[in-house]
Structure 1
Amino acid sequence: MIRTLVGVLGAISALFPDKIVGIFEKLAIANPSEGTVREWVRPAIRSEGVLIAAISLRNGRAYAWLMNLTGLFGAIVLLFPDLYRRFATAFLYERPESIEWNERFNSAVRAIGTLYVFLAAKTYRERHNET
């Protein structure tokens, strides 16, 4: 079930990177019209989506690694949402100093982090119960 959901989300990212950026900016950024997303971001989202969808089609080490990485990322954003915001701003935008984040987005970042940790833990538990 989780693998299917992860695969579908990867496929959606691959097919609609502009929509993903738009949704992210609408929810996270207070002044989305002020920022210019770096040129490589949309192709990177598409590539990441293809990779996630492909990995999710197969069970095994690659999927386990993907879910472990998801859990690690989730723990980081759960514990350090401000660090995530600073990194994302510098990484994603050409003029990061012009970006203003929605303050309520910290709660959303923590909720996403919690979900990622939960999904990774559930996947880990399922893998280890099979053996």
Structure 2
Amino acid sequence: MLRQFLGALGVLTTLAPDRTVEVFEAIAVENPDENTVHSWFGLLIRVEGVVITLAALRDGRLYAWLMNVTGIVGAVLLFVPRLYEKMAGPLVYEDPESLEWNEHLTDGVRVIGAVYVLLALLDRRRRNGE
């Protein structure tokens, strides 16, 4: 079931990278209209979607690798959520200094991190046949 969900998510981000960014901004950023997303960021989102889709379609090494990376990223988000803000601003926006994050972003990032860790652990358990 998780693979199907990830596959669907990958297809959505592949087909609608700009909409994906709009949803992210609506949730995470206080002043999205005052910031310009890097012109190449949509392509990066699309590539991420393709990788997620391919990994979900193949339940092998690529999927296991993706889930391991998801768990590691989740642990970082859970325990060091402010690092996300420091890295995401310059990655996504041309002028990250003018960016105003939503006041609840840190809590949201922690929750997402916890979910990522949980999903990675559940997948590892499934792969190990427990």
Report if TM-score (shorter chain) is over 0.5: yes
Pairwise CA distance, 1:101: 0.2
Give runs of aligned pairs for residues 52-91 of structure 1, distance below 5 A. Answer: 52-91=52-91
Question: Which whole-Å deviations, capped at 9, do the CAs of 1:65-110 have from their partners, x for residues lacking one?
Answer: 0000011111111111111101100111100101010111111111
CA distance in 1, matches of 2:41, 2:90: 12
RMSD, matched Cα: 0.9
CA distance in 1, matches of 2:16, 2:91: 20
CA distance in 2, matches of 1:86, 1:34: 18
CA distance in 2, matches of 1:116, 1:38: 26
Question: Which whole-Å deviations, capped at 9, do the CAs of 1:40-80 have from their partners, x for residues lacking one?
Answer: 11011011101110111011111000000011111111111
SS in 2 for 1:37: coil
Quick one: which amino acid aligns to residue 79 of structure 1? F
Q: Which residue of 2 aligns with 1:46?
A: 46
Q: Which residue of 2 aligns with 1:102?
A: 102
Q: Which TM-score applies when normalising by structure 1?
A: 0.96
Q: Which residue of 2 aligns with 1:121?
A: 121
CA distance in 2, matches of 1:54, 1:65: 12
Give runs of aligned pairs for residues 23-42 of structure 1, distance below 5 A. Answer: 23-42=23-42
Stretches (4+) displaced over 3 A? none
CA distance in 1, matches of 2:100, 2:15: 28
CA distance in 2, matches of 1:126, 1:55: 16
Quick one: which amino acid aligns to residue 24 of structure 1? F
CA distance in 2, matches of 1:61, 1:53: 14
> Once the two structures are aligned, what percentage of the paired residues are identical?
48
Alignment size in residue pairs = 130
Pairwise CA distance, 1:31: 0.5
Pairwise CA distance, 1:35: 0.9
Where does structure 1 lack aligned partners over 5 or more consecutive residues?
A: none
Where does structure 2 lack aligned partners over 5 or more consecutive residues?
A: none
CA distance in 1, matches of 2:122, 2:93: 34
Pairwise CA distance, 1:5: 0.8
